[in-house]
Structures are given as C-alpha cells and as structure tokens.
Amino acid sequence: MGRLSGKVAIVTGSTSGIGIGIANLYAAEGAKVVICGRRQEKGQAVVDGIVQAGGEASYHFMDITDIESIDKLFADTVEKYGKIDILVNNAANVGLKDGRIDELTLEMWDNIFQSDVRGTFYATKCAVSYMQKNEAGGSIINIGSMASCAGDLGSTAYACAKAGVDMLTQYTALQYGKQNIRCNCVRPGLIVTPQNEAYVPQALKDIFLSNIMVNRYGCPEDIGHMCVYLASDESSYVTGQIVNVDGGLNSHVSTVAQFKQLNSRTW
C-alpha cells in the first residue's frame, strides 16, 4: 500500500468497467484520483466508494470527443490539486462490431478515430504540457486493445484506431523521456466486467477461454494492477512499452486451441 502516495491521477472513462478497476486501485495505493466521464451519477458513485474506503477522489465531467471538456478537466485538476502526475487514457468508443471495410461508412470510421485516437492524442498533449512543469515528470498510460495485434474478421476501425494508440505511445515515450515523462500502453484481453457480463455471449467466452493460457477471463483489477505498476516509481526504467495483459492469448500460434481438441501437437 502507498505505492502512489502523493501522486495525482486522472483516469479517463472511469465511470464504468476497466476505468473503475484502475481508479479504485490507484486510490487504495494513496493517489488522489480524478474520476471523469460523461455520466455524473455513475462517476459520483465511484467517488463515494473510494471515499468510503478511505481514499481521496473527485468527479469531473469529460467527453473524450469534446476538446473544451478535456482542457477544462486538466485545468481544474491542477487548480484543485496543484499538479498532474499520472494520466490513464482509458476513455474510448469500443466498436467491437464495426464491421469489414466494405461495410464501414466514413462516418463510422471517423467516429471511432475521433474518440480513440484524436481524443487520446489531445489528452496526452494536455498532460505533457503540465507534466513538463513537474520536476519528477509523470507517467502516461494508454489503454490499447488486443484488437491491434493482428487482422480479424471485423472491428476494422477499432483495431486500426488502437494500432494508432500503440504508435502514439512510442512517439510520446521517445519525445519526452528525457524530461522524465514516461508513456506505456496496456492491451487488455477479454475483460469481463459487472457492466458487460450480461452482454458477452457464452459462445464468445468459450472461444476466448479455449485460447487463453490461464483458466479464467480477465477482470478490471488485472488491468488495474499493471497500471499501478506503470504509474509507480517501481517502473521508472520502463517506457515506450506495449504490454499485453490477456491471459496469454497472444503468446501462441493461432492453431493451438484446435490441436488441443484433437489431443495432438501436430498434424
């Protein structure tokens, strides 16, 4: 406990799912956490839970597609807490069913890129300008996706947008590392949350479980624990990295699950 004591953290998209898991662990480790998103009632509920557990948090409205709301988030955070040490770019439009290239419209493509790349870029740009004023710099953590690891049958715009986040991570790390500003990316695997569990088809769960190298799906805390490490001083020598937290999903060749069914190691 106390690995983030004295640090101020902004976690975008922290009114549900993975964002809540990250925010709760940050607060438990001593950070002052700014919960932000479009849903004030849900955001305040997260704040209330953190405060009841003995942590410190506040809610701030933010729409990742609205530049003015991002500006205000950072300015108000610095006014309230005096600095920003940690930014987690978690807010995104999860277009897991956005389709194939011939099915996508330019509007669908642009909507995904506006939130997942443009919004992440602008929040990073804002964070850098404030972190440059910190002697200790800061840590920026982007939440990517396993969708950017390889081609698939759908989710074209989402996967391409998240691939952009991967590259933005490395450019940010390169350009600001000498100013003690680190940037890393966490790619979650299948994360089952209280908000999405009822909507994840059993067939999809079965497909993933047959390919995951451990015996369970991921949970928000799995991503949160990695984000605590990347935000803490323990990872001061870690930057520009894209880390898969996916139960080993992307650590093997794509035929492993099928050969397991045949009880064979080869054809």
**Percent of the chain surpassing pLDDT 90:** 75
Is the pLDDT at 88 greater than 60? The verdict is yes
Distance between CA 218 and CA 97 in Å, rounded?
Answer: 20
Distance between CA 177 and CA 137 in Å, rounded?
Answer: 9
Distance between CA 144 and CA 120 in Å, rounded?
Answer: 10
Contacts of 138 (CB under 8 A, 6+ apart): 84, 85, 86, 87, 127, 130, 131, 180, 181, 182
For the chain, list the domains and their CATH numbers: 8-195+218-252 (3.40.50.720)
12-21, 204-213, 227-236: least confidently modelled range: 204-213
Is the pLDDT at 96 greater than 60? The verdict is no
**Percent of the chain surpassing pLDDT 70:** 98
What local confidence, expressed as pLDDT, does residue 218 receive?
A: 92
Per-residue pLDDT band at 266 (split at 50, 70, 90): low
Active site residue 217: no
What local confidence, expressed as pLDDT, does residue 210 receive?
A: 86
Per-residue pLDDT band at 252 (split at 50, 70, 90): confident
In degrees and rounded to multiples of 5, residue 142 shows phi and psi of -95, 135
Is the pLDDT at 132 greater than 80? The verdict is yes
Structure tokens at 22: 């990250």
Is the pLDDT at 251 greater than 60? The verdict is yes
State pTM to two decimals: 0.94
The amino acid that residue 154 corresponds to is G
12-21, 33-42, 109-118, 148-157: least confidently modelled range: 148-157
37-41, 139-143, 261-265: least confidently modelled range: 261-265
Residue range 235-240: average pLDDT? 98
Distance between CA 259 and CA 101 in Å, rounded?
Answer: 31
The DSSP code for 34 is E
The SS3 call for residue 5 is coil
What local confidence, expressed as pLDDT, does residue 6 receive?
A: 96
Distance of CA 142 to the CA centre of its chain: 5
| Candidates 59, 130, 158, 217; catalytic one | 158
What local confidence, expressed as pLDDT, does residue 70 receive?
A: 97
Q: Which segment, 212-216, 241-245, 262-266, is predicted with the most confidence on average?
A: 241-245
In degrees and rounded to multiples of 5, residue 185 shows phi and psi of -125, 135
- Quote the Cα angle for 143-17-223, to 5°: 45
Structure tokens at 204: 């999809």
What local confidence, expressed as pLDDT, does residue 214 receive?
A: 92
Q: What is the DSSP string of 120-147?
A: HHHHHHHHHHHHTT-TT-EEEEEE--GG
What local confidence, expressed as pLDDT, does residue 198 receive?
A: 80
Computed over every residue of the chain, the mean pLDDT equals 93
57-61, 155-159, 167-171: least confidently modelled range: 155-159
